[in-house]
């Protein structure tokens, strides 16, 4: 019996690892997420009953490790070499001429061209197919042991071959050491930064430093939360079984074992074709999903490459065909400050115009005010500016040696540049905010938020019309929307009878929107749709909410001291008080009745998170359905989440729910549960 269970356990580990690989490396899953969950849950159940069976190659062990004190040192089995650079085709040809003189075989050599990813070089050790150790490059001889962090990288196989049925490799070395580049894809980097920005947290500078920093810190949970992946390109060492002797076959071999390998590499019989191929990427580098600073041209025959030896740390058998740098120096003429929808202030560098990779750059981001301080960036400085991929150019830092003494230290504004109100800082965040709801720079964004689908849902009021209304002086705050009349509208360009009537009709309808929606529409810092619902149920109307004290607000689940303060602060401002009065006078003062406020039903006490597209419910429908049954909907998955409602193309919430063991149901399951 136990034997049978043990073999099922082995089978499950292999299956889950295989489906992980199909999903993350091949991008070609063959089972549904629900089926995957079933396998994972079965595996977890066995592990819970038999903790002594758990082995490090179990997919449940990817993020289980604890924070460590420091990294141990690892001696590499062979030198982890670097690459010499070629800047352009002439340099590459000169390299070829040089090595041709050293060995006759070079004349007829083939070449492999690969991307040169700008990431962190890592070295992975496998013993009897098990991933046992991973290290940084370090000084090329000794690196740091970052095994527990690397284990959290889903594209790194924990056991090879991942798919033993498909792999053409029959016997794997007893000890196999491979090398590759760990990195964060550009898109993932951008969405990571967007999330951090929305949370008022520090954003990251660039994908490379973020990947390197996340792998070289002591908490594996943090690494697991960063979208790191890797591509493998070299066998550093192998024992106990033969491995291929050409670079092209090495890539095939690694792929067959289940390692992530680039799919844009190609083999050529002539250097000129290899150069031409590398050049096509120079032009199209923005289309690559990761940051690449060049292509690598490698002699395919690895024994020839080895015989050519190396110069210092650079092997003669390969060359980095570098793309022109996208870092330039220019003068920082000034710093201006932009005001976003939530009032967040972002410093922006005004630069002396400079060309970077075919684009004229006049502005670059400076991230936040702390960044300017930390890097000691001064106005008048020569600064190093980088443009990478499609990411907005950013200032790397000052060229301190170029200072003349005339540079001026920058002081962040104490007042909002658009409205003159004092700026504010929230505990625990790096951002500074303008909290004046009537700030003109925020007004457009505020009105846009107020009328959007998730809040007051005023149909027919797009951004263009919002701008027109503000420009004409008809709307100075969101309450002015409710006193617009036909005569005013007809004076605007593009407005005829019908259009004006339709718009006034939808504005009239919005007066009847629920209290939840109105609270969410106000755009109070930290108050999204979920919290707006909680506030509406607790207070029943805006007048009661506006009198709530900080400690009282904190009694509500999910409201911490910062949000409580932000709510109380918003209502204490005279401009906002005036706004509420105007709304009330215009007939916008929704009440939530006592019986509505305490909904009891099949879902009472349960918390739901919805992800992906559901077959018949829209997001709002699903929310309403859950709330009507007494349940609560939140945005993020935690241990407290009772159910994840799963639709098509789910986001990262799905992964999180799986890792926390949260129950997962589909729309039909949700409906059944309500009965
Ligand atoms: S080959 C003998 N191939 O670039 C092997 N390196 O500037 C020498 N890199 O330290 C390295 N992609 O971290 C090689 N496809 C690739 C690469 C690559 C990125 C990095 C690697 C190396 C650095 C040299």
Q: What is the mean pLDDT of residues 480-494?
A: 94
Q: Of all protein residues, whose CA lies closest to atom 5 belonging to ligand 1?
A: 81
Ligand 1 centroid distance, CA of 180 (Å): 8
Q: Is the CB of 449 under 6 A from ligand 1?
A: no
Q: Where is average pLDDT lowest: 8-12, 22-26, 163-167, 594-598?
A: 594-598
Confidence of residue 121 (pLDDT cuts 50, 70, 90): very high
The model's pTM: 0.63
Return the CATH class of domain 599-673. alpha beta
Domain with CATH 3.40.50.10190 in the chain: 599-673
Which pLDDT tens digit goes with each residue over 387-426? 866 567 899 899 888 899 999 999 999 999 988 999 998 7
Report whether pLDDT(208) > 70. Answer: yes
Is residue 396 within 8 A of residue 371, CB to CB? The reply is: no
The helix-helix angle for 33-49 and 2-24 (nearest 10°) equals 140
Which pLDDT tens digit goes with each residue over 548-580? 999 889 888 778 888 899 899 999 988 899 999
Domain with CATH 2.40.50.140 in the chain: 326-435
Confidence of residue 217 (pLDDT cuts 50, 70, 90): confident
Q: Of all protein residues, whose CA lies closest to atom 23 belonging to ligand 1?
A: 82
Side-chain half-sphere CA neighbours of 48 within 13 A: 7
Is residue 91 within 8 A of residue 294, CB to CB? The reply is: no
Q: What is the mean pLDDT of residues 588-614?
A: 80
Q: How much of the chain, in percent, has pLDDT values that exceed 90? A: 59
Cα–Cα distance measured from residue 513 to residue 591, given in angstroms and rounded to the nearest whole number: 10
Which pLDDT tens digit goes with each residue over 100-117? 999 999 999 999 999 999
Protein fold of 73-322? D-amino Acid Aminotransferase; Chain A, domain 1 (3.30.470)
Homologous superfamily (CATH) of 326-435 is: Nucleic acid-binding proteins (2.40.50.140)
Domain with CATH 1.10.287.610 in the chain: 2-61
Which pLDDT tens digit goes with each residue over 309-339? 988 889 999 999 998 878 888 999 999 998 8
Ligand 1 centroid distance, CA of 181 (Å): 8
Catalytic residue among 13, 116, 386, 623: 116
Residue/partner pairs of 35-40 with CB below 8 Å, 24 or more apart: 36/658, 37/658, 37/664, 39/12, 39/15, 40/16, 40/658
Confidence of residue 537 (pLDDT cuts 50, 70, 90): confident
Instruction: Please give the pLDDT value at position 475.
Output: 93
Q: Is the CB of 315 under 6 A from ligand 1?
A: yes
Residue 263 burial (CB < 10 Å; 0-12/13-18/19+)? exposed
Ligand 1 centroid distance, CA of 231 (Å): 11
Instruction: Please give the pLDDT value at position 257.
Output: 96
Atom of ligand 1 at shortest distance to CA of 114?
A: 15
Q: Is the CB of 231 under 6 A from ligand 1?
A: no
For the chain, the average pLDDT equals 90
Is residue 40 within 8 A of residue 189, CB to CB? The reply is: no
Decide if domain 2-61 falls under CATH 1.40.20.10. Answer: no
Candidates 1.10.357.10, 3.40.50.720, 1.20.1250.20, 1.10.150.20; CATH matching 436-594: 1.10.150.20
Cα–Cα distance measured from residue 359 to residue 370, given in angstroms and rounded to the nearest whole number: 28
């Amino acid at each position: 019996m136990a034997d049978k269970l043990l073999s099922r356990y082995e089978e499950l580990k292999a299956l889950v690892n295989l489906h992980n690989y199909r999903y993350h490396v091949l991008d070609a899953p063959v089972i549904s997420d629900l089926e995957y969950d079933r396998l994972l849950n079965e595996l977890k159940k066995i592990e819970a009953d038999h903790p002594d069976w758990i082995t490090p190659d179990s997919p449940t062990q990817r993020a289980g490790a604890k924070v460590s004190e420091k990294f141990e040192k690892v001696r590499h089995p062979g030198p982890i070499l670097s690459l010499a650079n070629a800047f352009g085709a002439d340099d590459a040809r000169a390299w070829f001429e040089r090595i041709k003189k050293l060995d006759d075989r070079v004349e007829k050599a083939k070449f492999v061209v690969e991307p040169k990813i700008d990431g962190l070089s890592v070295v992975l050790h496998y013993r009897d197919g098990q991933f046992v150790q991973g290290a940084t490059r370090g000084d090329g001889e000794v690196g740091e042991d970052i095994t527990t962090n690397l284990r959290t990288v889903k594209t790194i196989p924990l056991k090879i071959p991942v798919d033993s049925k498909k792999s053409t490799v029959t016997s794997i070395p007893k000890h196999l050491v491979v090398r590759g580049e760990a990195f964060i894809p550009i898109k993932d980097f951008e969405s990571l930064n967007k999330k951090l920005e929305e949370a008022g947290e520090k954003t990251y500078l660039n994908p490379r430093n973020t990947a390197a920093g996340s792998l070289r810190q002591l908490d594996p949970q943090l690494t697991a939360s960063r979208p790191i992946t890797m591509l493998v390109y070299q066998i550093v060492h192998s024992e106990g079984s033969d491995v291929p002797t050409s670079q092209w076959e090495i890539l095939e071999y690694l792929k067959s074992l289940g390692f992530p390998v680039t799919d844009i590499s190609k083999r050529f019989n002539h250097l000129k074709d290899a150069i031409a191929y590398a050049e096509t990427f120079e032009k199209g580098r923005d289309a690559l999903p990761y940051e690449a600073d060049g292509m690598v041209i490698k002699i395919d025959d690895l024994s020839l490459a080895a015989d050519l030896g190396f110069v210092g740390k650079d092997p003669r058998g390969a060359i980095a065909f570098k793309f022109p740098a996208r870092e330039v120096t220019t003068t920082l003429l000034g710093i201006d400050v932009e005001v976003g929808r939530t009032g967040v202030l972002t410093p922006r560098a005004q630069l002396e115009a400079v060309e970077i990779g075919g684009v004229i750059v006049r502005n670059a981001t400076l991230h936040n005010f702390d960044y300017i301080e930390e890097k000691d960036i001064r106005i008048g400085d020569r600064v190093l500016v980088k443009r990478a991929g499609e990411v907005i150019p950013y200032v790397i830092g000052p060229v301190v040696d170029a200072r003349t003494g005339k540079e001026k230290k920058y002081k962040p504004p104490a007042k909002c540049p658009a409205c003159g109100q004092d700026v504010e800082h929230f505990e625990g965040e790096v951002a500074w905010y303008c909290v004046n709801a009537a700030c003109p720079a925020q007004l457009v964004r505020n009105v846009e938020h107020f009328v959007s689908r998730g809040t007051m849902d005023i149909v027919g009021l797009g951004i263009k019309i919002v701008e027109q209304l503000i420009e004409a002086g008809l709307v100075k705050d969101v309450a002015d929307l409710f006193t617009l009349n036909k005569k005013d509208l007809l004076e605007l360009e593009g407005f005829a009878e019908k259009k004006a009537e339709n718009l006034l009709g939808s504005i009239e309808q919005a007066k009847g929107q629920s209290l939840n929606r109105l609270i969410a529409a106000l755009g109070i810092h930290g108050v999204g749709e979920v919290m707006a619902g909680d506030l509406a149920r607790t207070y029943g109307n805006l007048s009661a909410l506006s009198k709530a004290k900080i400690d009282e607000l904190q009694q509500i689940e999910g409201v911490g001291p910062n949000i409580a303060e932000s709510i109380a602060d918003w209502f204490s401002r005279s401009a906002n008080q005036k706004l509420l009065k105007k709304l009330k006078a215009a007939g916008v003062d929704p009440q939530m009745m006592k019986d509505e406020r305490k909904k009891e039903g099949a879902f009472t006490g349960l918390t739901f998170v919805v992800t992906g597209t559901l077959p018949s419910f829209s997001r709002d429908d699903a929310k309403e359905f859950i709330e009507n049954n007494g349940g609560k909907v939140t945005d993020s998955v935690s241990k407290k989440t009772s159910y994840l409602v799963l639709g098509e193309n789910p986001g990262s919430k799905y992964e999180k729910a799986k890792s926390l063991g949260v129950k997962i149901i589909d729309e039909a399951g949700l409906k059944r549960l309500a009965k």
